[in-house]
Amino acid sequence: MGAILLLEDGRTFRGESFGAAVTKVGEVVFNTSMTGYQEALTDPSYCEQILLMTHPHIGNTGVNEEDPESRKIWVHGFIARHFSRMHSNQRAQSSLEQYLKKNEIPAIHNIDTRALVRHLRDKGAMKGVLSCDGTPLEVLQKQLQAWPGMEGRALANEVCVKKSYIAHNPPSPRMRVNLIDGGVKKNILRLLIKANCHVRVVPITASKEEWSRDADLIFLSNGPGDPAALGDAIETVRTLIGSMPIVGICLGHQLLALGLGAKTYKLTFGHRGANHPVKDMDSGRVEISSQNHGFCVEEKSLLATGARITYMNLNDMTVAGLRHEEKGVMSVQFHPEACPGPHDSQHLLIENFLSFAERVGQILSN
């Protein structure tokens, strides 16, 4: 069956349907990773987005039950130059096509993805509607106009767990970590468990008391949507800063900056992929990082808070990390836990974050 992608500026791309025969609206974005499509599909940070993979062949390794980074697929559509209907991998348990159909996700291929990426780079990420069920064009246009977009959307409140739970309770934990879930990826949990931490997952919608209860460290997770729309979470961060160590990744980084008094803004087409260079401003070392975000922290307003920039994105010189020793906060915009992606920055999540929390925790408690 034929499929069509209609963008908000009127441009259309027609190709072949690959996933479910449905129609969905979302923000059209692109990811430059060569591998890890199953992890990307199940990353909550892609909630309500139509994801384009720039690598031309997707699906060769199938899918399995071990690689998902959350409980479900969050994208509203999937795009590639070519999806493989055959897969070959010892870990595969089904095909990508079966996986998308089972989860009611539309997909389109056999389109000029290079032209689409260039269009998004020139015009910016934009609303789109992907239809694989023959819905008339005039109906698609109405659905597209009705979709609210990403700015002002508190999507983290929608993807988080509904109530707190203990994920790991070792007999002699290194640290008691409250992991604030705004769309957390499983590999963050895996690495904290591997580090012998007591891990309690807390919804981002919970109260200030729930965030900080019985914890040595508050860890703000990644997640989707506009960070500035999370007013309650920002206020909670603001009131807790200085009372105990707080670290964050991606959305968590943005919330910490907002809690300090900085501003965030929407990037033209975002940073999504596993090949983004970031520079450690202390050592001068360049690390290749995994990234997935559409918003960023404004540098000038961040420096006005007294925080220090610890990492810079070398593609566009945007803020990629911050630290405020006196107030006990540290965060990065990228994903040190990867999945998918390189492991250059994985030392941050365990060695740096936990060591920082142990050091400043003693200072703040005195």
Catalytic (active-site) positions: 250, 335, 337
> Please, where are the H alpha helices in 103-169?
113-123, 137-146, 156-159
Instruction: Name the pairing type of β-strands 77-79 and 49-53.
Output: parallel
CB contact set of 136 (below 8 Å; sequence gap of 6+): none
Please state, in angstroms and rounded to a whole number, the distance separating the CA atoms of residues 334 and 136. Answer: 40
146: exposed, middle or buried (C-beta count within 10 Å: 0-12, 13-18, 19+)? exposed
Please state, in angstroms and rounded to a whole number, the distance separating the CA atoms of residues 262 and 264. Answer: 7
- What are the angstrom distances between the C-alpha of 211 and each of 181, 228, 237, 319? 10, 19, 9, 26
Rounded to a whole number of angstroms, the CA Rg of the chain reads: 20
